[in-house]
Amino acid sequence: MNCIVTAGPTYEPLDDVRRLTNFSTGRLGTELANFLAARGHKVILLIGTMATHRGERRAQRVETFTTAADLREKLKAVSSKKVDAIFHAAAVGDFAFGRIFTPNESGKLAEIKAVNKIPTRQSKLLVELVATPKIIAGLRGWFPQTRIVGWKFEADGARADAISAAQRQIAECSTDLCITNGPAYGEGFGWVARDGIVVHLSSAPLLFEALDKFLHSS
């Protein structure tokens, strides 16, 4: 089957030398892409340029992305092709930079216009953070016939909170499945399906096996 796997972090530039990103390594998505390719699927791996995992990438096609907007455009670019499943494991940043301010000589905040490198002589820099559009919210519109698997990494709360967040994602984004993990969920992964079924998978290999079976289910 034709599959797309997204992996690793996006980043958003502050100027030409500084950026905002997250701690995603890209390992899980890369290993999932490798597993699917080994099972005979045709896999496109879209991975963030800031991914720190340096393991082998065995997908038939590998492309890198930078910002959330760049990843969005790369997904839209393949939406005209036959895609059987998307595994959206990338850690897309929640915020991009907005306006930037620094105190002027009178102590009042003055907006800094876009420059190659923001000067660091000032004692204070205030930066707006603007929410980035959720890529997963647009996937169903671009891929109406494709099975879509989302991810929900939850840092705060309990396992029940992580599962509830996954269920909200399915309802709001019309995805087929959501995998939840992170400190809130605890060890392993939560498989949360559109029909309400929740299954605990204790390791990545078990998760990959389950996702391969999901591809072959009717």
Q: What is the pLDDT of residues 82-137, one digit of tens each?
A: 999 999 999 999 999 999 998 887 778 888 887 798 887 767 889 999 999 999 99
Residue with token string 């392993």: 188
Residue 152 to residue 162: CA distance in whole angstroms: 8
Q: Which residues, in sequence order, are CB contacts of 178 under 8 Å at separation 6+?
A: 149, 150, 151, 152, 166, 167, 169, 170, 192
Does residue 92 contact residue 71 with C-beta atoms inside 8 Å?
yes
User: Does CATH number 3.40.50.10300 belong to domain 2-92+136-216?
Assistant: yes
Which pLDDT value is given to residue 218?
67
Question: What percent of the chain shows pLDDT beyond 90?
Answer: 88
Residue 64 to residue 71: CA distance in whole angstroms: 8
Average pLDDT over residues 53-58: 96
Higher pLDDT, 114 or 45: 45
Q: Where are the domains of the chain?
A: 2-92+136-216, 96-129
Which pLDDT value is given to residue 143?
98
Which pLDDT value is given to residue 115?
78
Average pLDDT over residues 176-192: 98
Which pLDDT value is given to residue 155?
94
Does residue 8 contact residue 47 with C-beta atoms inside 8 Å?
yes
Write the burial class of residue 127 (CB in 10 Å: 0-12 exposed, 13-18 middle, 19+ buried): middle
Give me the half-sphere count of Cα atoms (radius 13 Å) on the Cβ side of residue 48: 28
